[in-house]
Chain A
Amino acid sequence: MKVHVEPLGDHAVVVRFGTSIDPHIHGQVKQFSASLEQDPLPGMVEYIPAYATVTIFYDPVAVYERNKGWQRTDGGSRPPFSPYEWYCGQIRERLNSLGEAAPASGRVVKIPVLYGGEVGPDLGEVARHNNLTEQEVIETHASGDYQVYMIGFAPGFPYIGGMPEKIATPRRQSPRLSIPAGSVGIAGKQTGIYPLETPGGWQIIGRTPLRLFRPEADPPSLLQAGDRVRFVPVTEEEFRAYEEGSA
């Protein structure tokens, strides 16, 4: 698919690399994001990478000022100029300067997880739904090759793709009013981790002692789009040791 560029209102541009969840499409998202990170476009406020899109937020006033200044006098008219059109040109130029997207590499982040019991109340349900034992669910979840596609929904919340189909489980019929921070869940073919205590409908199979959202740190999110993730089962003692170590 050709890269599609379209407006999100009068202050942002969506750069669309495709319409599906696909490692190749996401490779282009990562490559373009890395280029924006290294060399931000003029007037850029920030960008949001997602599965198949990068949305760039820009300051139309700053873009206008940079190109035209504010020479309007009383009763005079403002010189016509479209910050959006100009921005699309900048984006096209940048896209053309990029080569073939490199195959996904990214750093690997190990996530210790205490599975089942009180901290993973839905592990049994996931096992039943897939005709597996709880131990098999744990082994499958911890053996997957995962990729963080995007951070969204809540600060530091990773949308993780690549979970083996054989432990996929639909969301709970009715969402829980409160899911503790660190909970590891499954929703369909997705797996994710709740960074903050929030309501939610995912099947909760365990908990990590790691803090995913760290407002005092830069960056404030433990995981970044493009990271690879490995879940590592830990015992209750190991879980406690992690918690104390990070406190």
Chain B
Amino acid sequence: MTMRVIRPGLLTTVQDTGRYGYQKHGVIVSGAMDPFAHRAANLLVGNRDSDATLEMTLIGAALEFTEDALIAICGADLSPTIDGVPVPLWKPVWVKKGTVLESGGCRFGARSYLAVAGGIQVPVVMNSRSTYLRAGIGGHEGRPLRAGDVLKSGPLPEQSALMIRHLRTHAEEGAFVPAEWGIGPELLPMYESQPVIRAIRGSQWDWFAADSQEAFFSQPFRVTPQSDRMGYRLEGPVLSLVRQTELISEAVSFGTVQVPAEGKPIVLLADRQTTGGYPKIAQIASVDLPLIAQTKPGDVIRFVEISRAEAEALLLDRECSIRQAKLGIQFKLA
């Protein structure tokens, strides 16, 4: 399958589950900002979790399918249409050759993932297809997509071929055929424009003043315009330390909330640096990373404290549900 970029949208990049194994050399992880939506889109078209998708930001790309394709769109609702007809999210969709996928306004969220059966084929750099913008490596020529780019997908997985056969039998005159089933709302993270995000105490929690600790888990914070794939800067109550202690740099992670001297928290996200020297007040539970990834400047978020054990249990329960959904899909195709 191939597709041609007519308009690239605001920031459209090739991403996968991230570039792991090279952080000790200072190479950042990158990868999808919303790992759940990325994975769901791949699952719906029969791909592996690690296959590459397109991450579209706020304003989606216009893409022409120059061959028939099996796709799924998950995450933000950027009002996608194919040849002018609205396309459902969170479902496999069989698309006919010569049609054009476009986006309208952003109805919900910030990042939308387009998976194509076979995965987006770009060279693997250090075990990953993710785009690392600052170093100009990975993804499509190490950069965001531009008009005129042509993208290819890899060989069709067996399950994708089954899905296509299944959907084609229902094909009528339209430009595309969605499946009758998909990822149900009960499986989705609690996406909201004002989400409540569960987090555990960070390594330097004890360094913060009692009123700052209390404010962090009770007051609202606003996502500022200084927010991108590297991190979100938040505006809210100023968080202060009991005393200024210097932290020597150590590793940070996806969802680390660090607080520089001026007291405004920064949430580190997919394109975070590998190490940091600011005190860490909290760490977002992995299951809630999709919630913050789908907020945009101006949105208001709140943090609520859970224990490390709870965060772990939530992650394992989410995995159970995804694996059951996967089995359900296989059952439908059998």
Mask, A7-26, CB within 8 Å of B = 1, is 11111101000011100000
Give CA–CA (A11, B289) in the complex, Å: 13
Across-interface contacts of B134 in A (CB, < 8 A) = 154, 196, 198
**Whole-angstrom distance between the alpha carbons of A196 and B136 in the complex?**
10
Docked complex Cα distance between A150 and B249 (Å): 9
Cβ of B320 < 8 Å from any Cβ of A? yes
- At the interface, yes or no: A215 with Cβ under 8 Å from chain B? yes
> What is the chain B residue whose CB lies nearest that of A9?
B283
Contact of B26 among A21, A60, A82, A156 (CB under 8 A): A156
Contacting residues of chain A (5-54) with chain B, CB-CB under 8 angstroms: 6-12, 14, 19-21, 33, 45-53
Closest-by-CB residue of A relative to B320 is A72
Q: Does A115 contact B (CB under 8 A)?
A: no
* Bound: A198/B273 CA distance, A: 13
Please name 28 pairs of A and B residues whose Cβ atoms are closer than 8 Å in the assembled complex, sorted by A: A8-B253, A9-B253, A9-B255, A9-B311, A10-B286, A10-B315, A19-B248, A46-B20, A48-B274, A50-B248, A51-B249, A51-B250, A60-B315, A61-B316, A64-B319, A78-B317, A84-B308, A84-B309, A84-B312, A151-B24, A153-B274, A153-B275, A154-B273, A156-B25, A196-B134, A215-B125, A215-B137, A220-B126
CB-nearest residue of chain B relative to A70?
B323
Collect the chain B residues with CB atoms within 8 Å of residue A220's CB.
22, 25, 27, 126
Given A11-B253, A51-B248, A150-B275, 14 more A-B residue pairs with CB atoms under 8 Å apart are: A9-B285, A11-B286, A48-B274, A50-B249, A53-B250, A55-B253, A78-B320, A82-B312, A83-B312, A151-B25, A151-B274, A152-B273, A153-B273, A221-B25
- How many Å from the CB of B322 to the closest CB on chain A? 10
Question: Taking the complex as formed, is B219 at the interface, i.e. its CB lies under 8 A from any CB of chain A?
Answer: no
Q: Which residues of B contact A72 (CB under 8 A)?
A: 320
Cα of A47 to Cα of B275 in the assembled complex, Å: 12
Q: Which residue of B is nearest A49, CB measured?
A: B24
- Does B312 contact A60, Cβ atoms closer than 8 Å? yes
Q: CB-defined interface of B251-295 with A at 8 Å, one 1/0 digit per residue? A: 111011000000000000000011100000001111000000000
Given the known inter-chain contacts A46-B21, A215-B137, please indicate yes or no for A155 contacting B309, CB distance below 8 A.
no
Check: A213 CB closer than 8 A to any chain B CB. yes
Q: Tell me whether A50 and B250 are in contact (CB under 8 A).
A: yes
A93 to B252, CA, bound (A): 24
B21 to chain A: which residues have CB within 8 Å?
45-46
Q: B residues bordering A, Cβ < 8 Å?
A: 20-28, 125-126, 134-135, 137, 200, 203, 248-253, 255-256, 273-275, 283-286, 308-309, 311-312, 315-317, 319-320, 323-324
* Residues in chain B near residue A151, CB distance under 8 A: 24-26, 274
Question: Is the contact region of chain B dominated by helix, strand, or loop, or is it mixed?
Answer: mixed
A151 → chain B closest CB, angstroms = 4
Judge whether B24 and A48 touch: CB under 8 Å. Answer: yes
A8-B256, A14-B203, A64-B316 known; A155 vs B28 contact (CB < 8 Å) = yes
Contacting pair A154 B312 (CB below 8 A): no
Closest A residue to B289 by CB, please name it: A9
- Min CB distance, A120 to chain B, in Å? 23
Do A55 and B250 form a contact, CB below 8 Å, given A155-B25, A155-B135?
yes
CA A84 to CA B284, docked complex, whole Å:
16
Complex formed: what's the CA distance from A208 to B203 in Å?
Answer: 37
Q: How far is the CB of B19 from chain A (nearest CB, A)?
A: 10
Residue among B256, B311, B317 with most chain A CB within 10 A: B311
Closest to A222 in B: B25
- Give Cα A61 to B322, complex, Å: 12
Given contacts A10-B308, A150-B275, contact A48 B255 (CB under 8 A): no
The 4 closest A-B pairs by CB, nearest first: A55-B251, A152-B275, A221-B25, A9-B283
Task: Select from chain A the residue with minimum beta-carbon distance to B319.
Answer: A61
With CB as the reference atom, state the residue of chain B lying closest to A65: B319
Inter-chain CA distance A33–B324, complex, in Å, is 38
Q: Which of B134, B203, B248, B324 has the most CB of A within 10 A?
A: B248
- Asked if B23 and A48 sit within 8 Å, CB to CB, the answer is yes
Do A57 and B253 touch (CB < 8 A)? yes
Given contacts A84-B312, A152-B274, contact A219 B285 (CB under 8 A): no
Residue A157, interface by CB 8 Å: yes
Q: Is the CB of B316 within 8 A of A14?
A: no
A225 interface residue, CB < 8 Å from B?
Answer: yes
CA distance A20 to B249 in the complex (A): 10
Q: Which residues in A have their C-beta under 8 angstroms from that of B135?
A: 155, 196, 213, 215
| Chain B residues within an 8 Å CB radius of A6 | 203
The answer to whether A46 and B200 touch (CB under 8 A), given A72-B320, A150-B275, is no
A239 within 8 Å of B by Cβ? Answer: no
Contacts of B324 in A (CB 8 A): 74
User: Across the interface, which residues of B come within 8 angstroms of A242, CB to CB?
Assistant: none
Residues of B within 8 A of A53 (CB): 250-251
Could you tell me the distance between the alpha carbons of A220 and B127 in the complex, rounded to whole angstroms? Answer: 12
Are B26 and A153 neighbours in the complex by a CB distance under 8 Å?
A: yes
Residues of A contacting B20 with CB < 8 Å?
45-46, 57
The answer to whether residues A21 and B251 also contact, given A8-B256, A50-B275, A60-B315 and a CB cut-off of 8 A, is no
Least Cβ distance of B141 to chain A in Å? 13
Q: Mark A65-107, 1 if CB is under 8 A from B, else 0.
A: 0000010101000100011100000000000000000000000
